Amino acid sequence: MNFGYTDEEERFRQELAVFLDKHLTEEIARQNWEDKGVGPEAREFSRKLAAYGFLGMGWPEEYGGKGLPPAYDFILLDELGKRWGAHVPLDVGYTMVGHTILRRGSEAMKKEFLPKIVGGEIEFCLGYTEPNAGSDLAAMMMRAEDKGDHFLISGQKTFNTECHYADYHWLAARTDFSPQGTGYKGVSLFIVDMDAPGVTVRPLWTMSGERTNEVYYDEVKVPRERLVGEKNKGFYYMMEALGSERNQVFVPSRLRPVLNMLLAYAQETRYQDRPLSKDPVVRRQLARAAVELEVAEVVADHSRWLEALELPMTHQPEMTKVMVSELEQRLVNAGMRILGPYGQLEEGSPWAPLGGRIEWYYLHSFMTTIGAGTSEIGRNVIAQRGLGLPRG
């Protein structure tokens, strides 16, 4: 048994830490989809990350990677997370769709996209959810008609988050309209240029101020080369990728800076001649959060380890997702309790503690148990895949 990292991995982590401490400013760290949106600074940072050799560790050499084990990429995510940069700035391509392109894309598609993903040059947005297809993605209705050398796509997506700055839409649409093609059977995946004629993006603003989007397709022509893998296999590819995506996106280390902030606050803030940190209730809340975070980290590590060794993953990544997202809510709730009446003050207000970060996180945390699949669906998956319970 060994829960540690190799010497080389540790060396990588240290070099990376030095780089990040220098280049990952707060301004850039906050340029991600959850917060201020990706801007030129974050893109520049991504390219720099690649130029210094910190991107693409786990990717094959022929596509610009270094051919190392996935552990290095997890180290990258962990170190970013510890510094408020929970996501690689261009994260959908790097942590999600890139892996499916690698597994299922044609050689030409791999050559076109992977080096740019690994080079921190391009970003994708996920086009799955539709107004009537949320948890039940197989109900999607977006139509992609096969016209031989191209597909003609029409319909609507919603809550597609990075679409206002991404270069490409990773789109799931229905390609089989026959009775046999209902549900998950008739879905295909496409890569669509965001500036293709007929694509319209409209903002949806969320409670915590992040932007997501509605995306409309009006007879958008998508070349056949942009079909990912085989036609009508899209849903299968999406499900196949899910475990790895969970492992890469639900990174517990991103809660470390929140906890650290609260620890410092409790030590520096006094009430009745003693620091809040001496208050038994506050101590217990923070200690509990720390325990939960340790547990979430080892749970996430287990699932990553399965992935690294290419062992079967059933319920484990889902467990990571549910646990990390729910811990996130409990942690910021504890934070709000510790901040007392000051917790309601927003960034930019006089007296806002910790720069208003906890208030923002509190509002943001309502979505963690919804986005990328709800906790209810997550628990269904855990019960059914993890224990073989019958499907409801």
Partner 1 sequence: MDFRLTPEQQMLKDSARDFLADHCSSDFVRQMEQDRRGFTSELWAGMAELGWMGLLIPEEYGGIGWGLTELVVMAEEMGRACLPGPFLPTTLGALALAQAGNEAQKQEILPAVVSGEAVLTLAYLEAGCAVYDPLFQAATARKQDGAWLLEGGKLFVPDAEASHWILLCARTSGSLRDQEGISLFLAPRAARGLELRPLKTIAGDKQFEVSLKEVALPPDALVGEAGQGWPLLEQLLMTGALAKCGEMVGGAAKVLEITADYAKERVQFGSPIGRFQAVQHHCANMLMDLESSRFITRKAAWSMGQERPNPMLVAAAKAWVSEAYRRVVSLGHQIGAATAYIVEHDMTLFSRRAKAAELAFGDAAYHYGQVAQRLGL
Ligand X SMILES: Cc1cc2nc3c(=O)[nH]c(=O)nc-3n(C[C@H](O)[C@H](O)[C@H](O)COP(=O)(O)OP(=O)(O)OC[C@H]3O[C@@H](n4cnc5c(N)ncnc54)[C@H](O)[C@@H]3O)c2cc1C
* Residues near partner 1, by CB under 8 A: 129, 132-136, 139, 158-159, 204-207, 212, 269-272, 276, 281, 329, 333, 336-337, 340-352, 359, 362-363, 366-367, 369-371, 374-376, 379-380, 392
Min CB(364)–ligand X separation in Å:
9
- Choosing among partner 1, ligand X, none, which partner's interface includes residue 132 (Cβ < 5 to 8 Å by kind)? partner 1
157: phi then psi, degrees, rounded to nearest 5:
-115, 160
Min CB(270)–partner 1 separation in Å:
7
Give, rounded to a whole angstrom, the gap between the first and last alpha carbons of the chain.
Answer: 38
Q: Which is nearer to partner 1, 199 or 282 (CB)?
A: 282
Q: Which is nearer to partner 1, 199 or 352 (CB)?
A: 352
Per CB under 6 A, which of residues 148..207 are in contact with ligand X?
159-161, 206
Q: Which of 100, 130, 128 is CA-nearest to residue 114? A: 100
For the record, the structure tokens of 31 come out as 């340029």
Looking at 25, 135, 182, 349, which residue binds ligand X (CB under 6 A)? 135
Per CB under 6 A, which of residues 358..377 are in contact with ligand X?
367, 370-374, 376-377
CB 202 within 8 A of CB 213: yes
- 129: CB partners within 8 A, 6+ apart: 137, 157, 158, 159, 160
Stretch that binds ligand X, among 119-127, 173-181, 263-271, 335-343 (CB under 6 A): 119-127
Residue whose beta carbon is closest to ligand X: 134
For the record, the structure tokens of 286 come out as 């923070």
For the record, the structure tokens of 11 come out as 């060396």
Q: Does 126 bind ligand X (CB under 6 A)?
A: yes
CA distances for 75 relative to 6, 44, 107, 258, 305, angstroms: 12, 21, 29, 19, 12
Q: Which is nearer to ligand X, 277 or 320 (CB)?
A: 320
CB 155 within 8 A of CB 142: yes
Please count the residues of the chain: 392
- Choosing among ligand X, partner 1, none, which partner's interface includes residue 373 (Cβ < 5 to 8 Å by kind)? ligand X
Amino acid sitting at position 138: A
Q: Which is nearer to ligand X, 173 or 372 (CB)?
A: 372
Q: Does 382 bind ligand X (CB under 6 A)?
A: no
Q: Which is nearer to ligand X, 128 or 342 (CB)?
A: 128
For the record, the structure tokens of 292 come out as 């939960």
CB 84 within 8 A of CB 33: no
- Choosing among partner 1, ligand X, none, which partner's interface includes residue 113 (Cβ < 5 to 8 Å by kind)? none
Helix or strand or coil: residue 143? strand
Residues at the contact surface with ligand X, assessed by CB under 6 A = 125-129, 134-135, 159-161, 206, 212, 367, 370-374, 376-377, 380
